[in-house]
A and B are shown apart, each in its own frame.
Chain A
């Protein structure tokens, strides 16, 4: 079985957000990308989640959520690596 790298990252999306809509958008992307996701804080100007999974898929999640759903405008985002494991070690 192929050894898989994993990463846990905290992502904050900043802008003009509709929390229920943004939460649903994040949830669907995380499910599609097979990432574990936990919402850490919710506001109309900042939405923070922690996601963990393969680094490439965390990157894909970041890209998708930086665009966000149609009714939200993401102006900026921050990413902090919490920890990473290379090749399943």
Chain B
């Protein structure tokens, strides 16, 4: 069963440090991805129920995120727990932010945009990974996939050989070159913008530093190719 359209990669795990938050989009909708101080990731609608301020501008305090505007604090279930202007108030359960199921797989944070009970299992991929980067393109997912196939990286280790791009599940792909494998998370920001989250499948002892720099340079080449050539030429 494919999870395309349900599970979306939204960030590299390494990009969202404990106690931090960031805004992102999926298919044009706004979300906040944040990590509490115990390290658990969360992804919510990026809108405070009070005045609509983006929660991604807020502050993480322990296992709560606080809105920048009036300091309303929400627990990890999205329930408002504290309103600074009314410290004695027993905050009603109706003041709640829509939250989405979030997991970490393949060195990336994934979110299900359907309710938990109807979402299929998240993509499965185990093993050590080394983060490379998230790279953003002014192009749709299909154009990015086509460019990856026509502009593969050179191997960091092993003999040069034809690259193989394989869909693991939904938006998770494996790109093998030589004896290296990259895991690629394709993230549709909107119909015309895509983020590509790139990690190396392998041990840090082998890929940290030079290996990361090697594939980082490839992502820059890829972006240059996509953004300087017409879509038809990239797909050709």
Chain A neighbourhood of B4, CB < 8 A: none
Whether the pair A54, B90 counts as a contact (CB closer than 8 A) is: yes
Chain A neighbourhood of B94, CB < 8 A: 31-34
List CB contacts (< 8 Å) of B76-96 with chain A.
86, 88-90, 92-95
Chain B neighbourhood of A54, CB < 8 A: 89-90, 92
CB of B224 to closest CB in A, whole Å: 47
Cα–Cα, bound, A67→B49 (Å):
17
Cα–Cα, bound, A36→B88 (Å):
20
Number of A-B residue pairs with CB-CB distance less than 8 Å in the complex they form: 22
Chain A neighbourhood of B95, CB < 8 A: 32-34
Interface check A57, CB cutoff 8 A: yes
B interface majority secondary structure: loop
Chain A neighbourhood of B92, CB < 8 A: 33-34, 53-54, 57
Cα–Cα, bound, A4→B94 (Å):
16
Instruction: Report the nearest A residue to B83, measured CB to CB.
Output: A56
The count of chain B contact residues (Cβ–Cβ below 8 Å) is 9
Chain B neighbourhood of A34, CB < 8 A: 92-95
CB of B197 to closest CB in A, whole Å: 36
Whether the pair A2, B49 counts as a contact (CB closer than 8 A) is: no
Whether the pair B49, A4 counts as a contact (CB closer than 8 A) is: no
Question: A51-71 CB contact bits vs B (8 Å, 1 = yes)?
Answer: 001101100000000000000
Whether the pair A56, B93 counts as a contact (CB closer than 8 A) is: no
Cα–Cα, bound, A32→B72 (Å):
15
Cα–Cα, bound, A32→B92 (Å):
8
Instruction: Report the nearest B residue to A34, measured CB to CB.
Output: B92
Cα–Cα, bound, A54→B94 (Å):
13
Cα–Cα, bound, A2→B88 (Å):
9
Whether the pair B49, A32 counts as a contact (CB closer than 8 A) is: yes
Instruction: Report the nearest B residue to A32, measured CB to CB.
Output: B94
Instruction: Report the nearest B residue to A87, measured CB to CB.
Output: B88
CB of A75 to closest CB in B, whole Å: 24
CB of A84 to closest CB in B, whole Å: 15
Chain A neighbourhood of B89, CB < 8 A: 54, 56-57
CB of A12 to closest CB in B, whole Å: 24
List CB contacts (< 8 Å) of B52-99 with chain A.
86, 88-90, 92-95
Supply 10 A–B pairs (Cβ within 8 Å), ascending by A: A2-B90, A31-B94, A32-B49, A33-B94, A33-B95, A34-B93, A34-B95, A53-B92, A54-B90, A56-B88
Given contacts A2-B90, A53-B92, 4 further A-B contacts (CB under 8 A): A32-B94, A33-B92, A56-B86, A57-B89
A residues near B (Cβ < 8 Å) are 2, 4, 31-34, 53-54, 56-57
B residues near A (Cβ < 8 Å) are 49, 86, 88-90, 92-95
Q: Which 8 A-B pairs have the closest CB atoms?
A: A34-B92, A56-B86, A34-B94, A4-B90, A56-B89, A2-B90, A32-B94, A54-B89
